A and B are shown apart, each in its own frame.
Chain A
């Protein structure tokens, strides 16, 4: 049935969650030792040079659902994507795939691990420069015995055809392709192992709008025919709007707003989301002279106290400096993390 998942979603029926994140954290830099952890547990701020990229995220992705993820550059989207894909272990918290803890793919490569695939933001870095395209695409399916080696070429031709590339690509190397062609090779490779969940990190940023449309149609078709789920990270709001059932907005390592797509766009509540939507470039909106966000981007090495957005928030109140808001659902189901919004309701 087409759009089965979105119907269930619109009717408020529960979706089976394929992905579930519970209080997931991940930092980079020096790992806190025991003394640090004790100090932190007594309320000390984590020491500099430790960067909390993902800071306590709860999230679910339903079967056949497309969850959009947007947010400021550097706020932790790719890190969150890698946690969901199981290629980066969390420091704490749980990442569940079909209710089971995600295997740590950095340690073991299992067939179950193929269930979640990631399309990386940077296709040039994701492909091995010495590997021909046919091998890049068929390596995993052959290793996991999804296809016999004898069918490799025919399989690769079909996989490339789906992303609009021709047979003459098979024996070429990554550097012989344009940026968008490389991105499509990565997409073909991720889809080649029949995943159940695909983490798409800026999957169409390198594509012209017509090829982008073909790829987005492919994603939506696979969702409808195979009930595939997606975590869809993109800076292009019109693309996220088109494909997503729900959209999560991230700021400095945390989810600050989460709602059904139509709801979020018609009725953005968090001041950061509003600023973001305000600057979306369109064909008939000239570039404004003023920045819609005052103040400087905060440093994740020492995030602001209280609400992390307070130094830039146009409606910040005194208590926002000291009290951290929580992501709470409103009666409409729209979740937002803002003291001013919570107070109003």
Chain B
């Protein structure tokens, strides 16, 4: 770990025990995030992005468990933290914006009360002072008439407004690390850009680091410095955003990019990667993508390692694509 790394993950494995046996939702992930860094995470639905975020936050619930690996936050291994130690960290130095805003808001408590409590849990300030901070935070994410809105209950908000409340809560204490899980799926593009600018400013000015999990490749292109692509619990490709999106090396990444609606004529069937994610309880022996990969050969039956093709660009594939070849490879 270098001196500036805020988060360093090695060999992380998170498993769920199910009636069909144990499944590894996160299966050997290494990751480094420095202060001020914005890391985008993209990948197949069900590939383990949320579970990775929950693991970093120490929030994996039974029957799930982190079974291997080390997560160092600011130099300290947090996998051995007690719940009391977590309380001081969570919501204060590390915050997560959850994928389903409804699950992180209490349905029977007013929005204002929830936000004020989020501040007072970590700071010793009066309710009036907290309320003032909360009002400003609401306006900052574009919710007007804060006084009326703070009296409301979550179900009285639109989907995007709930999402913005969750974002506002996560930013209240200016955490060092923010894990944002699909944070803008319910936001129109103008509100979304406003929030992207706000987050980018926070990273630049206060050196907060951001992990941005998203399916929207356009948004990832706009905010992330680096991108990691996940497939079946593993990182299969990682590199600088511009380079990775311009010339993806892993066949899965290339297939993903080809599936974007802009690549097919309006109203026509879209390109998509054939097949689906393998059952995590019954994974292929070698490369997990092999059953869907047009390039697969016998050589792919040995699990490939994540190795560098160029400095800073790593890929987990025996036959990575070459620059410029990306789109022709999938149909």
Residues of A within 8 A of B (CB): 3, 6, 28, 48-49, 70-74, 77-78, 121-125, 164-166, 168, 171-172, 176-181, 184, 201-202, 205-214, 216-217, 220-221, 235-239, 241-243, 261-262, 275-276, 279-289, 291-293, 296-299, 301-302
Contact = CB atoms under 8 A, between A and B. Distances in A.
Contacts, number: 204
B199 to A, nearest CB: 10
A276 B189 contact: yes
Contacts of B100: 122-125, 179
A219 B279 CA distance: 25
Given A168-B279, A205-B185, A210-B44, A282 B159 contact: no
Nearest to B16: A176
B109 interface: no
B325 interface: no
A287 B261 contact: no
Contact of A287 (B102, B182, B191, B223): B223
B269 A121 contact: no
B163 to A, nearest CB: 8
Given A74-B160, A179-B50, A238-B260, 12 more contacts: A28-B156, A122-B101, A171-B19, A180-B215, A184-B45, A209-B259, A210-B273, A212-B259, A217-B270, A238-B262, A281-B216, A287-B200
B189 A206 contact: no
Interface in B257-292: 257, 259-262, 264, 266-267, 269-273, 276, 279, 281
Contact of B190 (A207, A212, A279): A279
A281 B99 contact: no
Contact of A276 (B190, B223, B259, B271): B190
A281 B218 contact: yes
A214 B200 contact: no
Contacts of A282: 218, 221, 262
B300 interface: no
Contact-size category for B: 35 or more
Most interface-central of B145, B159, B185, B264 (chain A CB within 10 A): B159
Interface stretch (B2-10, B85-93, B114-122, B136-144): B136-144
Nearest to B223: A287
Contact of B102 (A122, A178, A286): A122
B72 interface: no
Given A124-B102, A296-B139, A73 B279 contact: no
Contacts of A296: 139, 142, 144
B188 A70 contact: yes
A279 B197 CA distance: 12
Interface string B20-63: 10000000000000000000001111100110000000000000
A111 B19 CA distance: 37
Contacts of B217: 209, 283
B267 A3 contact: yes
Given A178-B46, A210-B44, A298-B144, A73 B270 contact: no
A330 B40 CA distance: 44
Contacts of A123: 100
B298 interface: no
Contact of B193 (A176, A212, A279): A279
B297 interface: no
Contact of B160 (A73, A280, A281): A73
A297 B45 CA distance: 33
6 contacts: A74-B158, A122-B101, A205-B215, A211-B276, A285-B218, A291-B190
